[in-house]
Chains A and B, each alone.
Chain A
Amino acid sequence: MKDIRMILPNPASDTAGAASLLFQLDGLSIIHDAAGSMESYITFDESRELEGKRTVASRLSRLEAITGDDRILLDKIEQECAGNPPPFVAILGTPVPFTIGTDLEGIAAEAEFATGLPAFAVNSGGFEIYDKGAGEALKKVLEKTAQQPSGHTGCIVNLLGATPMDYSPAEIDDITQQLLARGADQVNNLTMTDGMEQIYKAAEADHNLVISVAGLPAARYLKQRYDIPYTIGVPFDSNIEAKRPAAQNRVLIIGESVFAKQLAHIVSQIPGVTAVAGIIGNDDTEIFPQVSSIRLDTEDKIINELRNDYTVVAGDPLYRLLLPPGHNCVFLERPHRALSGRLYPFSEYQLNHYLNELKRCLT
C-alpha cells in the first residue's frame, strides 16, 4: 500500500494540467470525459473564474464509451465552433478515452478539417502528473498557432510553463518585473494572460525562460523550429547578502522542479547550508543537474525524507501534516496549487520573499 495517499490529496492530473495551461487562451478546450467528471479538473484544480471561459466537458455517455462513437463528439465540436469560432480546439484525454484507446489525434484532425480551425489533442489520461499534460498542451498550441516571426526591435523574452498550478499571478508579475529590470524590453507571459496574442507572437522572442518543467517541451520545440535559445530558472535576486549561520543548516525545498531546484541552488551557496530539492511532479536532467534532489512521488517518500532532521523545510502547508512528531525544523509555507488546490489563497508575495524568509530561518 506504499503508493496510497492517506493524508495528502493527489497532485493534479495531466488532464488538469493541460486544462490549466490552456485556460486563459480562450480556445475551446474539451475535456473528453464521462458526464459529471468535470469536478476535479475544474472545480478543484482550476482556481480562476470559469465564467466566459470555454473549458467544457464532452459529457461522454456510457454508450458512447462502449461503442466508441466519435461522431457525437465531433458534432458537439462543430456545433460549439459554428457561431463563435475559437482560436483553436483542444481535445483533452481522460481515463475513459485512454482506456478504450480513443484516437484523440484522429478526432482532432477531423475537427480541424470540419471547422477549418487549428485543432490538436492532448494525450492525457489521468495517469500522469499535471506538468506532463501542461507541457504537451503548451507545445501543441504553439505548434498549431504560433506565427512566423516578422522581425522586431529590442529584447523579447517568453515565459514558458506559467500556470497557477505552480505560480500565483503576483509571482508571475514579479518574474516579469525582474526580467525587465535585467534588460528585457518586453516579457511575453504566454499562458497566464488572457487571449492568444502572446502565443501568436511566441516565435518573435529572442530568448525563452523556462520557469517550470512544463515549459521544457515548448522550449525545445521553439529552439528546434525557430532557433530560440532558452534558459531554465526563476529570476530570484540571488545577490542578497546572507551571514554565515552559526550552525550547519539542512534545507529541504518541496515543490515543482524548476522552482525548488532554483531556490535550493541559491540557498546552498550560503556557507554552512546544504539544500535538497524535493520534486513534486516530473523532473528533467536539464534542470539544475548540480543541485541535490529527490523525487517525492509518493506520500511514503515525503514522510521518509522529512525524517532526515532538516532544520528548514519549505513547501505547501499540507506537508506540515507529515512532519515527524517532536521535529525541530522551521516550516516555511508556500502554497502549491497543484497539490492543495483552493485550500489556501494565492501568494501575494514577491518571489524574493521566500528567499529572504529562508535566509531568516537559518540558525
Chain B
Amino acid sequence: MKRIAIYGKGGIGKSTTVCNIAAAMAQEGLCVLQLGCDPKADSTSAHLHGERQTTILDTVRTKGDNFELSEIIRQGEDGVLCAECGGPIPGSGCAGRGIVTAFDTLKAHNASEVYKPDVLLYDVLGDVVCGGFAMPLRSGYARDVFIVTSGEKMALYAAANIAMAIDNFKGRNYARLTGLIQNSRNVKDETQLVAEMAEELSVPVAGIIPRDGLIQLAEEQNTTVVSAFPDSELAMIYRQLARTLYQLAEEVDT
C-alpha cells in the first residue's frame, strides 16, 4: 500500500490535483481512498458529482461510535473511495484536533484493513499550521509527501515551510518529502523557479501541470479532467503524474 499526502499553499489547486490523480489511479485499476483533511470538507466533491460527503466528525458527533464505515466512506462513480475529516462547528472548537479525531476514528474502525486500498491519498489543508494538520505526517499515516506549488513567491514560500516542518520531525519517523508538483500559473520563469526549489530541497519535480481551461470546465461539471476529458492532453499529463507518484512512493504495511 502507498500512503501519500499532498500539501501546499491554500488555493494552489491541491484538491483538483488530488482528485485527478486519484481518478487516474482508479482508471489504472488501483483501489484508491482519498481522505480530505480540510474542515471545509470539499476535497472529494469532484468524485461525487459535486455532492458533499457526510464528514467523519459530523458522524461521530451525531452517532458516537455506532456507525458503519460505509456511512463515512463513499465510492465515486470513477471508483475512488471518498472520505472527509470535516471540522468543528464554524467559529468554534479546534480544526487541527478535529483532524486527529477523524484519523483516530478511521483507525479504530480499521478502515485500511476493511477496504485494503492500494493507495491512500491525504488531501491536506494549506500549510502545517498546527499539530493537527501535521497528523498525516506522523508515523503510521502518510509515508510520502508531495507539495503542490506554482512559481508564485507565496506558494514557494509555503512549500519551503512545509518542507521545514517535515525536516523538524525527522527524529520521529515521520513521512518524508518525496517531490514537488508544479501547478502552473504562467508566472515568468515558473518551471525554473520550481526546479530550483526542488533542487534546494533535494527532491524531484514529479510533474508539471499546465494552466488549462479544461480544469475549470471539468470543475463546472463537478468532475475531474481525467473523467470528463479522458482523451485530452491534460488528462494524459495527470495520468503520467499519477504513475510517477505511485512509482516514487514507498510501499508500506496497511
Contact = CB atoms under 8 A, between A and B. Distances in A.
A108 to B, nearest CB: 9
Nearest to A110: B171
Contact of A101 (B96, B169, B172, B173): B96
A178 B130 CA distance: 53
Nearest to A97: B131
Nearest to B100: A101
Given A99-B97, A101-B100, A106 B139 contact: yes
Interface residues of B, number: 17
A287 B135 CA distance: 35
Contacts of A100: 94, 96-97, 130-131
Give 3 closest A-B pairs by Cβ, nearest first: A101-B131, A106-B172, A101-B132
Interface of B: 94, 96-97, 99-100, 130-132, 134-135, 138-139, 169, 171-174
Interface residues of A, number: 13
A102 B135 CA distance: 10
Given A100-B97, A101-B96, A101-B97, A109 B172 contact: yes
Interface in A98-121: 98-103, 105-107, 109-110, 113
A102 B131 contact: yes
A99 B101 CA distance: 10
Contacts of A101: 94, 96-97, 99-100, 130-132, 134-135
A110 B97 contact: no
By DSSP majority rule, is chain B's interface helix, strand, loop, or mixed?
helix
A350 to B, nearest CB: 40
Given A100-B94, A102-B131, A103-B131, 9 more contacts: A99-B94, A101-B100, A101-B131, A101-B135, A105-B138, A106-B138, A106-B174, A109-B139, A109-B172
The SS class assigned to the A binding surface is: helix
B173 A103 contact: no
16 contacts: A68-B130, A99-B97, A100-B94, A100-B130, A101-B100, A101-B131, A101-B132, A103-B131, A103-B169, A103-B172, A105-B138, A105-B139, A105-B172, A106-B139, A106-B169, A106-B172
Given A68-B130, A68-B131, A103 B138 contact: yes
B172 A110 contact: yes
A100 B132 CA distance: 7
B20 to A, nearest CB: 30
A98 B96 CA distance: 11
A2 B100 CA distance: 28
A89 B134 CA distance: 24
Contacts of B97: 98-101
B175 to A, nearest CB: 12
B173 A109 contact: yes
A189 to B, nearest CB: 32
Interface hub of B132, B134, B172, B174 (most chain A Cβ within 10 A): B172
A98 B97 CA distance: 8
